[in-house]
Amino acid sequence: MSLKTFFYCLLSLALFQVINAQKNQLNDSLAFNQDVLLMHLKTVSSDAFEGRRTGSEGGIKTRKYIINQFYSLGLSPLGNTFEQSFSFVEQRKDYRATNVLGWIKGTEKPNSYIVISAHYDHEGIKNGTIYNGADDNASGLCALFSFAEYFKNNPPKHSVILAAFDAEELGLRGSKYYIENSIVSLNKIKLNLNLDMISRGDDKELFVVGTRYNENLKQLILNFKAIGDIKLIAGHDGEDQKENWTYSSDHASFYKKKIPFLYFGVADHKDYHQPTDDFENIQPQFYIDAVNNIISIFKKIDSLGL
């Protein structure tokens, strides 16, 4: 082989590796349809869903929307149906609520479960004004659809439950009921990934809460290289932080049962629990990057275990 031919072969190999790496990166970025993700968020946070208050017409409409998406994306109902209905009293008012639970069987560890959760309820209508809750928490809910889309072509090794919880805004009622009436034995649930407010970050920061309580998860997050223009920050779980978010959303129900969790969320912003939390105020690229990162973290956990 001539020296010229040798260098040509080296150059060709290098170009092949670059192209292959770009292809792998592109495939990762196409784990879900970004336009569809944004379409879901725009839809669910529109006035037509009336702020998704638990038990309201808007809440019922949202529940039906979730069931349609879960079914069309190939998920199976966790129980006899996708619905887990329950009732409770809050401030002398009776509420009828419904969790929506879908699942996909793992290819290698079917009896070991990861629960990916997001609450779908919000504040509803107050004094004639609709609180659409685009970031809180239509953003987390619609990410569940992207997970389901991803699983169609990438079946998980562990069984995965996608849980859209109701009545989080009324005291984490949906996740509490789920844990107390779990269709799957709690000792088979290895991890909860909870998504609550992931569509905007003025400082491009997405917090990951829960690493303090599990060394393997801590090392995974600390060594994870973030995708896109986003900063993943472990914290807000009581260690060197003024704010402790351990009990701030549905992951708290899992934590109380000693189930490891990672909670993904952003800091409160000016539109938090305000009627201005609309689709127009989310940051689309941040949201897409956030979902990409969360799916990538899931992939590592699914592959390595805890």
Classified as helix, coil or strand, 154 is: coil
Rounded to whole angstroms, how far apart are CA atoms 279 and 277? 7
Predicted confidence band of residue 241 (pLDDT cuts 50, 70, 90): low
Q: What percent of the chain has pLDDT over 70?
A: 89
Average pLDDT over residues 220-241: 91
pLDDT value of position 10 = 42
pLDDT value of position 31 = 85
Average pLDDT over residues 160-173: 98
How many alpha carbons fall within 13 Å on the CB side of residue 189? Answer: 26
pLDDT value of position 149 = 98
Tell me if the pTM is above 0.85.
Answer: yes
Rounded to whole angstroms, how far apart are CA atoms 262 and 255? 10
DSSP state of 240: S
Rounded to whole angstroms, how far apart are CA atoms 129 and 151? 38
Burial 18-41 (b: 16+ CB within 10 A, else e): eeeeeeeeeeeeebbebeebbebb
Q: Please answer whether residues 251 and 209 qualify as being in contact, where contact means their C-beta atoms are separated by less than 8 angstroms.
A: yes
Per-residue pLDDT for 4 more than 50? no
Classified as helix, coil or strand, 70 is: helix
Domain extents in the chain: 1-30, 34-304
Alpha helices in 30-172 (DSSP H): 34-44, 57-72, 139-153
Per-residue pLDDT for 248 more than 80? yes
Pairing assessment for the beta strands 205-209 and 261-265 based on DSSP bridges:
antiparallel
Per-residue pLDDT for 240 more than 80? no
CATH topology of domain 34-304: Aminopeptidase (3.40.630)
Per-residue pLDDT for 258 more than 90? yes
